[in-house]
Structure 1
Amino acid sequence: MNWIDVGALDDIPLRGARLVKTPVGCVALFRTGEDEVFAASDRCPHKGGPLSEGIVHGRAVTCPLHNWVFDLETGDAQGADEGSIPTYPLRVENGRLLLDGDAVGRRAAA
């Protein structure tokens, strides 16, 4: 894996999100706990809603447009909704967020 530093953990509020622009489109970084962050597509497959503007709860995010709920570990829709969002490997190291550059393309995230 090719890890890219995309910012500080403290830049994301608890139960909040931050966007990273990548060659595959916008990736949202969701902070679900003190040291727990997930990376997933920012686009809901239902109507294209910006998931980074949704509600983060537990290890899930609710789309702000139509309330679809996605598991941030698997990307799968929960409940009666069908579909999924891409997820990407992310780790926290010394307070920095490292995103797998191979998973999001050959160019660096910005």
Structure 2
Amino acid sequence: MTEKIFLTTKNTLLPQIGRSVSIGNKKIALFQLSDGRITAIEDFCRLTDGPVLEGTVSGEYLYEPMRDYKISLIDGCIQDPDEGQLKVYELLIEDGDIYLKGASL
């Protein structure tokens, strides 16, 4: 059986608006993309030393709110001309409940 940690329910998410959840000392930003997919990335950008939760979502990308870095919500990569990567968390969605797979912490 896969270890999983409950985060929230799908009906608490709004398309293209981030939602923050905390697991211990880790902050995770959840996003529901316009096509309905749900992604989770760490809610901290090392380039700005700040959160990414309030960034603007466009397609599969998040524009970081402090410096407008373009970050892939699929693989966490910061796009050219900048560089870096945010941790992406693997999710499990069952009956409208969203879980973090325990091994992805």
* Shift of residue 99, structure 1, vs aligned partner: 0.9
* Shift of residue 34, structure 1, vs aligned partner: 5.0
Contact preservation (8 Å) 2:15, 2:36: no
Q: Is residue 2:78 matched to residue 1:77?
A: yes
Q: Which digits, 9 at most, give the CA deviation of each residue in 1:1-26, with x for residues without a partner?
A: 41222111111110011111123510
Kindly indicate which of the two structures has a greater share of residues assigned to strand: 1
| More relative contact order, 1 or 2 (CA 8 Å, 6+ apart) | 1
Aligned to 2:104: 103
RMSD: 1.4
CA 1:24 to 1:86, structure 2 compared with 1: closer, same or farther past 3 Å? farther
Contact preservation (8 Å) 1:35, 1:92: no
Aligned to 2:55: 54
Paired amino acid for 1:64: P
Q: Secondary structure at the match of 1:51?
A: coil
Contact preservation (8 Å) 1:27, 1:40: yes
* C-alpha distance in 2 between matches for 1:34 and 1:96: 18
* C-alpha distance in 1 between matches for 2:17 and 2:71: 15
* C-alpha distance in 2 between matches for 1:57 and 1:91: 23
Contact preservation (8 Å) 1:49, 1:63: no
Contact preservation (8 Å) 2:31, 2:39: yes
Q: Secondary structure at the match of 2:33?
A: strand
Paired amino acid for 1:26: K
- Which structure 1 residue ranges, 5 or more long, are not aligned? 105-110
% identical equivalent positions:
27
* Shift of residue 50, structure 1, vs aligned partner: 1.4
Structure 1 residues 34-49: aligned runs within 5 Å: 35-49=36-50
Paired amino acid for 2:72: D
Q: Between Structure 1 and Structure 2, how many residues are aligned?
A: 104
Aligned to 1:8: 9
Q: Secondary structure at the match of 1:102?
A: helix
